[in-house]
Amino acid sequence: MADTATKARPVLALRIGDVWYALEPVVQGPGPVKAWKLTKPDGESYCVSRDQWGYACECFGFLRWGERRGECKHIASVRSLGLLGGERG
């Protein structure tokens, strides 16, 4: 019984456009970094994170345009939910 309880991790769902992503916190230990893993139904996943330098995502769009735009749709969506912190600063 205890085994089942520890294995049953809660997972959030996040919809971007027509795609539902599973949204799971990435535990990185103490410190200001916050990160979330977004997994698409086809299994592809991206890690969205925030550190003292700003936001980052592993998707192609962010790697290509993120430095200029500062965010991709994944970052924008996670931020809009207030899950990355720092929105007020």
Residue numbers at the binding site for Zn ion (CB under 5 A): 57, 59, 62, 72, 74
Q: 37 or 86: whose CB is closer to Zn ion? A: 37
**In the complex, minimum distance from the CB of residue 79 to Zn ion, in angstroms, rounded to a whole number:** 11
What is the Cα–Cα distance from 79 to 71, expressed in whole angstroms? 10
Q: 21 or 31: whose CB is closer to Zn ion? A: 21
Which residue in 12, 49, 22 sits closest to 33, CA to CA? Answer: 49
Tell me which residue has tokens 């019984």: 1
Task: Indicate the SS3 state at residue 80.
Answer: helix
**In the complex, minimum distance from the CB of residue 27 to Zn ion, in angstroms, rounded to a whole number:** 20
